[in-house]
Structure 1
């Protein structure tokens, strides 16, 4: 079933080309985009079943010898990421259509939105499937080029300013990544990750540490790890709601995916583990402390996004099976919940006319459905039992306690404190925006409660249901993430699968 492996990349690229040719036919563009992303979701789900049954699937693109040509590898970890990302991008596309983006409104030129969105999807899937570092770099660049377009759609002053910051930071991280690629090729003579798994082990410790740190620096910027995260709260909130949602849910997780892959496959058990734990603690605490004083819901959620990156780094830094498994579980949870919350904020902005907390109020009385749509994922993000956020954090805390040591126990305490502060932050949003009486000021005007498009609500409900369903399937999902973590730490299943294509 190796024929399935390239399809998550090929389908959205073909869809992007077709939608670019259909710029004068809005309805056809919408149908092609929906069909492409539905196809990606179906193929990704089938690929996950195949890799769970038969092990990693490898394709040498163009039949070139694997060490020379491009290799695509799907294992349980990458296939799971493909399924989650496909489900999220499909729901966000439906939401954006409901918002009127695809109808040629002033805020979103129709001719560029659909092709850019599909190219972004292709970049994400390329990164997840890449079997060599240079193709991983190409995947990052594909998604970044598309994101440059999407973050500035509409051309407002705020979006151009935020987009400029985003572009500069992204180019810096890409330059660092490219530098790391050059250094690794000079030291090891290959960029194939299965081949590097053996060759890097033979390098002097100082050289390995230097290469590891340069890669972590590049991926840390992309994943918004403190202190490399200052760009995110200023960049994401200015974009359109669907764009912000997919950025917040997915793009930082691609950076985290790269960190997990590099730390387990290329530099297992390295001296950077304690560094990752320290960065995890700082990311959690600084991020959530930045969220608490915010008066805009988008900026508040952007800071919580940064904060919860720390939970995933916590599991990676522990480098044990339960820690990595819980980190993967938390990645799946956070992609779904964070995207849902940003879609809900888009509904709040449409209904109340603003996302400023001092100008919102009474939304629970005006729209009980909107209140439910916010309350459930907010409690999930805060880690209230029995939601998946609680289960993921519990797994990380158990892994930290099992590892022992002062630094690990400090991380456990930081994780608990961050969870409580997250609850405080989202409860503050609830009290100000939903629970208190409607605010009517000269600045804000009356809250009229405009009707919400059904597609917007339907897409948000679908993601909310998916987030709740993660609790119901937590047992099988933890089994899957546990198997994926075991394969990542063992390395042999991945390396042997690629070696079967000719790598030595």
Structure 2
């Protein structure tokens, strides 16, 4: 029995349930938010350490052996994703103390945040394809509720697009699960991989692969069904935007990696060719959309789309180096993108707007905030020595080695256009002189010292993570390499789940 496999799911579930018990006690809910996410971070680090030391860990729920029961599985890739979930959850919980008002708290912000984190961790750790669908739905319910907190018109419009496309994805996903179960008679992903390798090659396997690709591609905001993301992520409170930006689309990316390295790994074929060009078009459409925007969070939202393309490209090329690049890119991007949204919220708290044309002069009044923006912004653009440089370099080098010159050129071009967007934000928000105040300017309450600390602390912490990854590229690369090795050798995952011991050597 390895409790550290289940704790990243149980802790946010228990924290959310306890928050409901203290519905009317605001201080208790806030303490639970910080304490619960802090405990999630600590247990996720314990899990990563255990997986690095002991190999793939498995917990069979109810002591039912696989494939008859539900398996929780932690390999290196899943453990890394859970650690990132803990980091982002803790950072956003701290940030929420300063940015989430009594109104949102009264409608269940903190219990919903815990439920969302439980859904994300469950998706990363489940070894059952139907339970992956269940955790997706847990995330969908929690994220939809968080998206409409406040019930403003823009929020409702964004939420309708968000839930419509995600429900379409869920329908395709569930249909694919049903067809897959009809073909192999099991829902355990390790058992599916075993049995599917024994099934005679047929067009039905290709159809299922495409169905999963479309379902997870929608959830990852890949081309062409990505428009729900920039239509919705700029509408909720900024803490919610940051949580979504860091985690939600990465669950779709994780699912693509898991399914196409475990279940459909035997014949990469034309599905990976589709993924290659899907990745290129995702990069290009996202970065062009960002270049046309002048609203801080909409620019960042479009850049989520463009950066998803790099991650998918790592999977699509399906070489050892490409998978290393994909894993490295996910690790870098989750930290950087969350931080940029947190910075945008800080700017809004100081100036009362996300419109770049209504902003300016913050370098003179808040130079530290300007520097803290530059760290994730330049990392996103791939400037050395920050984390984004190494992530982009590995993916682009993998593309050149695979002779995928067209999509590699797109990746280089998108990097330049990303730099253009970050320079535009810097020039408009921090460098230019502030605009003259208008007649209808909102009256903003001064930022207290406590608020200032609560706003700065998570931004500084995530910026330090970005610098740490950049300055310690070799150990992070080795961790991504070990994770990619496990993904490329699915027999290790299968043996761990189907064996009695529930673990294999690292």
TM bucket (normalised to shorter chain) is over 0.9
- Give 1:274's aligned residue: 273
User: What SS does structure 1 have at the residue aligned with 2:234?
Assistant: helix
Residue 179 of structure 1 and its aligned partner are, at CA, apart by: 0.6
- Give 2:361's aligned residue: 362
Aligned counterparts, 1:349-498, within 5 A: 349-404=348-403, 408-442=404-438, 445=441, 450-451=446-447, 453-498=452-497
Distance in structure 2 (CA, Å) of the matches to 1:444 and 1:434: 22
> In structure 2, do the counterparts of structure 1 residues 113 and 203 end up closer, same or farther at CA, with 3 Å as the change threshold?
farther
- The question of 1:254 aligning with 2:251 is answered yes
Distance in structure 2 (CA, Å) of the matches to 1:371 and 1:447: 23
Which deviates more, 199-208 or 153-162? 199-208
Distance in structure 1 (CA, Å) of the matches to 2:501 and 2:205: 25
May I ask how many residue pairs the two structures share in their alignment? Answer: 496
4+ residue runs of structure 1 moved beyond 4 angstroms?
446-450
- The question of 1:48 aligning with 2:48 is answered yes
User: What SS does structure 2 have at the residue aligned with 1:28?
Assistant: helix
Distance in structure 1 (CA, Å) of the matches to 2:376 and 2:294: 20
Distance in structure 2 (CA, Å) of the matches to 1:25 and 1:200: 52
1:76-105 deviations in whole A, cap 9, x for unaligned? 010011101111111001000122x2xx52
- Give 2:70's aligned residue: 70
- Give 2:215's aligned residue: 218
1:169-217 deviations in whole A, cap 9, x for unaligned? 1111111111110010011111111011122222423111100000011
1:293-313 deviations in whole A, cap 9, x for unaligned? 101011111111100100001
Q: Give unmatched runs, 5+ long, in structure 1.
A: none
With the length of structure 1 as denominator, give the TM-score of the two structures: 0.96
1:36-66 deviations in whole A, cap 9, x for unaligned? 2111111111111111111100011111232
Q: Is the 8 A contact 2:67 2:498 kept in 1?
A: no
- Give 1:162's aligned residue: 158
Distance in structure 2 (CA, Å) of the matches to 1:433 and 1:203: 59
Q: Is the 8 A contact 1:350 1:450 kept in 2?
A: no
Distance in structure 2 (CA, Å) of the matches to 1:441 and 1:205: 67
Q: Is the 8 A contact 1:57 1:74 kept in 2?
A: yes
User: What SS does structure 1 have at the residue aligned with 2:108?
Assistant: helix
With the length of structure 2 as denominator, give the TM-score of the two structures: 0.95
Residue 445 of structure 1 and its aligned partner are, at CA, apart by: 3.8
Distance in structure 2 (CA, Å) of the matches to 1:444 and 1:282: 41
- The question of 1:126 aligning with 2:125 is answered no
Distance in structure 2 (CA, Å) of the matches to 1:448 and 1:116: 28
Among residues 191, 194, 197, which one is paired with 2:190 in the alignment?
A: 194
- The question of 1:79 aligning with 2:83 is answered no
1:129-159 deviations in whole A, cap 9, x for unaligned? 0101001111111111111111111111111
Q: Is the 8 A contact 2:34 2:90 kept in 1?
A: yes
> In structure 2, do the counterparts of structure 1 residues 24 and 186 end up closer, same or farther at CA, with 3 Å as the change threshold?
same
1:265-295 deviations in whole A, cap 9, x for unaligned? 0111422111100001000111101110101
- Give 2:4's aligned residue: 4
Distance in structure 2 (CA, Å) of the matches to 1:439 and 1:328: 42
Distance in structure 1 (CA, Å) of the matches to 2:106 and 2:382: 39
